[in-house]
Chains A and B, each alone.
Chain A
C-alpha cells in the first residue's frame, strides 16, 4: 500500500483574540491526528491557543483567473473609505 495520508490545512488562533490564521499544511491519517501533528509542527513556541484543521480537498477557493471580475468592482468605490470625505478643520470628533 503506497497511498499517502491526506493533506490538511492548519489554522491557528494566536494569544490575543485574533481570528484563526492559515499557517501551513500537513499530512495526517485523520482529523484527530491532524490536530496533534499541528500542535507539534506549528505551535512549538506558544504560537497559538486554538487549532483548526480542514481537509485541503474540502477547501473551495476563488480562481486567479476570476481575480479581476471579483475584485475590480471594489476599486471604483472609494467613497466606502472615510477618507473620501474631507472634513472642515474646525469639526472635531468625527
Chain B
C-alpha cells in the first residue's frame, strides 16, 4: 500500500508471556480500542514501526505528486487543469498531515526527509511508473486513489490517535480524487475510438502495478501479525486486494474497458472475483530502486529540497531579525 513491507524489528509476535507489566497494560488498552496518544507510554518497537509506517505513507503522498504534476500544464482544458492542481495540492496536504503525525512520535521533519533522500525509507512502488498519456491521470485517480481509499478507511480506526485523525481528514478528501479519475476515464471512453484506445492502454499498464500496491501476501508475516495486534494494520494485504478487485471489475465493465487479466472471472461460490498471478519479481525490483522512474523521482525530490534551501534559510533569518527588532522596541 502507501506503506509497503513495514518492518517491526521483531522476530516473533509478542505474547502476553513475553510482555512486561507496562506492555501488558498497553496491549490491554489497544484491545479495548482506547487510542494511544503521543505522550502515553508505548513499547519502543511500536513507536519505531509507526514512525516507519507513517513516514513511508507521507513520502508516498509527496512523491505521488510528481507523476501527476507532469500533466498539469498539458491537461486538456482549463477546468481539468484547475481540478488536477487541486488534487495535487491535496496530496501535498496529505503529506503534511502525515509528517506532523509522525513528528508527534519524536522524529524530526528534517530527519525523515534526509532518510528518504538517502534511500533509507521507501515510498510506494506505484509512483515509480511513468505517466505517458492523459489517460494515465484518469487511471491513477480511479485505480491508485481507489486502492489508497481501500487501505486508508480501516486506518481511520487505527490505535494511534494522531495517525487515525490524519487518516480521517485524508479519507474525506480522497473520494474527490477517485471520482475525478473515473470522470476522466468516462469522458475518454465515451469519446472517439482513439480516446477509448488511450484509456485501454493506460489501464493495461496500470492494472498490475495497482494490484502490487497492496504488497505481497502477508498471511505468514510476523511483522503484519504484530502490526495487526497493535491495530496499526487492520486488514491483510490479500483481503484488501480482493476487495479492490471486486469493486473495480464492474467499474471497468461499465467503462467498456477490458482488465488485462485472462483469469479474471466472477466466482459464484466464493462470492468474489478470481484473478491471475502477480509478478512479484517486478514488485521487488521496483521497491529496490530499479523501477522505470525511481532514479528520476529521487533526483527531482532532492533537487526541490536543495533548491528550496535558501528560501527556508531566508525566511528563518527574516523571522529572527524581526523578533530582535520587536524586542528592542519593547525594551
Whether A29 and B315, one on each chain, are in contact in the complex, defined by CB atoms closer than 8 angstroms, is: yes
Whether A7 and B40, one on each chain, are in contact in the complex, defined by CB atoms closer than 8 angstroms, is: no
Min CB gap B43→A, angstroms? 15
Q: Name A's B-contacting residues (CB within 8 A).
A: 1-5, 7, 23-27, 29-30, 33, 40-41, 44-45, 61, 63-64
Whether B96 and A5, one on each chain, are in contact in the complex, defined by CB atoms closer than 8 angstroms, is: no
Q: Which residues of B contact A23 (CB under 8 A)?
A: 169
From B39, B103, B110, contact of A63 by CB (8 A)? B39
The segment from B223-231, B259-267, B296-304, B316-324 found at the interface with A is B316-324
Min CB gap A6→B, angstroms? 9
Q: Is B7 an interface residue (CB 8 A)?
A: no
From B40, B90, B319, contact of A44 by CB (8 A)? B90
Min CB gap B293→A, angstroms? 27
Also in contact, A5 and B315, with CB within 8 A (given A27-B109, A63-B39): yes
Q: Is B312 an interface residue (CB 8 A)?
A: yes
Within 8 A of A (CB), among B76-134: 86, 89-90, 93, 96-97, 100, 103, 108-110
Min CB gap B169→A, angstroms? 8
Min CB gap B119→A, angstroms? 20
Whether B39 and A4, one on each chain, are in contact in the complex, defined by CB atoms closer than 8 angstroms, is: no
From B100, B108, B173, contact of A4 by CB (8 A)? B108
Whether B316 and A29, one on each chain, are in contact in the complex, defined by CB atoms closer than 8 angstroms, is: yes
